[in-house]
Structure 1
Amino acid sequence: MIERANAVLVLEDGTTFHGKAIGKIGKAAGELAFNTGMTGYQEVFTDPSYLGQLVTMTSPHIGNYGTAEPESESKSMQCAGIIIKKFSEVASREISDSSLQEFLEENNKVGISDVDTRALVRHIRSKGAMNAIISSVDSDSIESLSEELKNVPSMEGLELASKVSTKEAYVLPATSEESTLKVALMDFGSKSTIAKCLNERGCEVKVFPMDTALEDLLAYNPDGFMLSNGPGDPAAMTSSHQLVKEIIDTNIPVFGICMGHQLIAASQGLTTEKMHQGHRGLNHPVLNHKTGKGEITSQNHGFVVSRSSAEGNDNIEITHSHLNDNTVAGIALKDKSVFSVQYHPESSAGPHDSRYLFDDFIANMNSNKKS
């Protein structure tokens, strides 16, 4: 057993949890979020949508199977820090290339273990999402950490997508035998599996920075636009609202995921709302209103499209709803080949119930190409 330093977690309402340090010695602050997935911790930690957040994993054992490079959703860990119950120093999987401790150290990330994560999650569910700070620095006191925490910005009103969007455009070729379609993927903090799902379906994908001008996007001559997931408050991204509106007005098919979904909504005059504690996990039930079927989905978001604003727009069809709280989980434009969902159809980790949405997008592009 490795002897580990003491660590502390301080919430902005003064609630304090003591535990043991994992990862590097130091401190990290951000909005508290919790993920209920029983697997897929590496995919969670490397998802750019978690930028600026301290992620609490509710599964009691984390680190058991180590990490493997192909399972990362971006080039590095994106969350600010991690909070877990039982930490495994041993990676008991043949294909792992490092332990989670090594992965944390390589990514210069701070974490805390031996925390009663059930109590922490119950607190967040009751009080709502709030900022917190982790520290494993001996000299830090609860009082000094509470003072530092006052300077951590609220997630509401925070634009973060520009911090994770690619700076240069790049092409990912199709991996199936026949490549017939070209997709322009707007990178607001995209998970790598989104492009892989398109590549597997015969699409060449060109990933563009989020501030790319429409004329430069159209110069690629895309058959469709994919609007990716990403971190932060969609309401703060007013320039992206306008760009997405311009993209939609081209009449080229569009598919949006999470942040992309929210930006499509905002471009049509809908509003978004900060949620009490968000949806993050691999088992969220969603109803498809078109088929009447339920889907188990992978989700990660702290903002949601206002149902009243969606219902008040005659050109918006609500296609999916979350069965736990009836929040809007998918929309489509009635006069355009544009649809979006509030969850992750590419999953990774998670169930594959919703991957048909990529096939629907392919069908839309082929239909538009023929016409």
Structure 2
Amino acid sequence: MKRWLVLENGEVFEGEAFGSENEAEGEVVFNTSMTGYQEILSDPSYCGQIVVMTYPLIGNYGIHRDDFEAMAPAACGLIVKEAADQPSHWKSERSLVDLLKEKGIPGLAGVDTRRLTKRIRTHGTLKGRLTNALANKEKIVAELRRRPAPRDLVDRVSTKAPYASPGAGPRVVIIDFGMKKGILREVIRRGADVLIVPWRTPAEEILGLRPDGILLTNGPGDPKDVPEAVRTVRRLLGCAPLFGICLGHQLLALACGGNTVKMPFGHRGANHPVKDLTTGRFFMTSQNHGYAVDPDSLADTGLDVTHININDGTVEGLAHKEWPAFSVQFHPEAAPGPEDSGHLFDRFFEAMITFRKAGKSHAETP
């Protein structure tokens, strides 16, 4: 069965349909990872997006229940050069094709993904539609061009109610903007007493939980679409050690008076080199974001740049000069990706210990 990707600039890419028979519409982005397609599909930060995998063969090791980053895939479509429908791996429980069918996600195979990726790099991310009929191409293009980007993405993927993962260690409150399971796993395995709360939870309610530390998770979309979260972070700053990841990093910058900007095509992949300016060390990192912190906006924020991207010089890490708060744009939980930066979770726990020894634990107001 034929299927087409129609882009808002009028270009069309033809291929073979696989997965669900549904159609889908979203922002078309590319990911340069060689593996990790299951984690990518289920990463809540891909909500509202059609993902193009640049590596040519996808699905060859199948799907396993332990590798999901959320209960259900968040991406609305998948585009590949070749989709393997007969995976070979000892842990495989089913094929990628079967997963997409079950979850109602359309796939498009047989596409020149190199050409499509070059288009995105040239024009920036584009809205697109995966369609099973091309008779009304002009109508599809017109609809794509006039349809605004969704602004409720965080609300779609954040938990609707608080829940806990009890532990004997320090209490960590995680504000869920679209949390990957890998982040929770890294906090739990360090023994923390974890409380996960919805993104709209007021600052005073969070402080009432008496956290030893607060973690701001990843999430989809434009950080400026969640101004309530910016105000919450601003109120929490200095009350307990704070660690922001991806969207959480951008929210920390906004809360301190900085600015964020949309990138032409973002960073999405498991192979992005980053330099730690405090140590001079280099790390390979996993990334998934379409917005970045504007370095020219940080002069009066109290924030120092701690990490930069080697490829394009964008801000990859921040630390507050006065309060125990720091953030990174990349994903230290590495799911998928290299584990070079997992030590940042240790740094967060060390900050909680230092804060407690100073007699400032349980979220005292600064």
Give the structure-1-normalised TM-score: 0.94
Q: Displacement of 1:23 after TM fit?
A: 1.1
Does residue 17 of the first structure (1) align with residue 23 of the second (2)? no
Alignment counterpart, residue 167 of structure 1, candidates 160, 168, 190: 160
- Kept in 2, the 8 Å contact 1:161–1:232? The answer is yes
C-alpha displacement of 1:71? 0.2
Aligned to 1:333: 320
- Once the two structures are TM-superposed, the CA of residue 64 in structure 1 deviates from its matched residue by 0.7
DSSP-derived class of the 1:211 partner: coil
1:183-198 residue pairs with structure 2 within 5 A? 183-198=172-187
Give the letter for the 2:21 counterpart: I
Match of 2:120 among 90, 114, 124: 124
Structure 2 residue aligned with 1:286: 274
SS at match of 2:215: strand
Amino acid at match of 2:273: P
1:185 and 1:362 map into 2 onto residues whose CA distance is 13
Matches within 5 A, 1:355-370: 355-370=342-357
Q: 2-side partners of 1:225 and 1:72: how far apart? A: 24
Task: Provide the identity percentage.
Answer: 41
CA distance in 2, matches of 1:140, 1:308: 47
User: d(CA) in 1 for partners of 2:18 and 2:303?
Assistant: 47
1:246-261 residue pairs with structure 2 within 5 A? 246-250=235-239, 252-261=240-249
- In structure 2, relative to structure 1, the CA distance for the partners of 1:73 and 1:140 (3 Å cut) is farther
Show the 5 A alignment for 1:316-355: 316-355=303-342
Moved more, 216-225 or 344-353: 216-225
Q: Distance in 1 between matches of 2:35 and 2:332?
A: 17
TM-score between both structures, scaled by the size of structure 2: 0.95
CA distance in 2, matches of 1:206, 1:278: 31
Structure 1: tracts of 5 or more residues without a match:
none
Q: CA deviation at 1:101?
A: 0.9
* Equivalent in 79, 86, 103 of residue 83 of structure 1: 79
**Partner SS, residue 45 of structure 2:** helix
Give the 3-state SS of the residue equivalent to 1:357 in structure 2: helix
* Superposition map of 1:189-338 within 5 A: 189-250=178-239, 252-310=240-298, 312-313=299-300, 315-338=302-325
Within-5 A mapping of 1:150-165? 150-154=145-149, 158-165=151-158
Question: Residue 306 of structure 2: SS of its match in structure 1?
Answer: strand
Once the two structures are TM-superposed, the CA of residue 33 in structure 1 deviates from its matched residue by 0.5
Separation of aligned partners in 2, 1:231 and 1:107: 19
| Structure 2 unaligned spans of 5+ | 359-366
**What amino acid is aligned across from residue 158 of structure 2 in structure 1?**
S
The 1-side partners of 2:180 and 2:50 are apart by: 18
Number of equivalences: 358
Structure 2 Cα separation of the partners of residues 152 and 258 of structure 1: 26
Determine if the alignment matches structure 1 residue 146 to structure 2 residue 141: yes
User: Is the Cα–Cα contact under 8 Å of residues 278 and 302 in structure 1 kept in the other structure?
Assistant: yes
Paired residue for 2:131?
135
User: Where does residue 37 of structure 1 map in the other structure?
Assistant: 33
Shift of 1:200: 0.7
Please state whether the residue corresponding to 1:277 is helix, strand or coil. Answer: strand
Question: What secondary structure does 1:13 align onto?
Answer: coil
Task: Tell me which residue corresponds to 2:362.
Answer: none
* Distance in 2 (alpha carbons) for counterparts of 1:139 and 1:121: 22
Alpha-carbon distance in structure 2 between the residues aligned to 1:36 and 1:210: 29
1:268-314 deviation per Cα after TM superposition (whole angstroms, max 9, x unaligned): 1100000010000001000000000001000000000001012x126
Aligned counterpart, 2:23 = 27
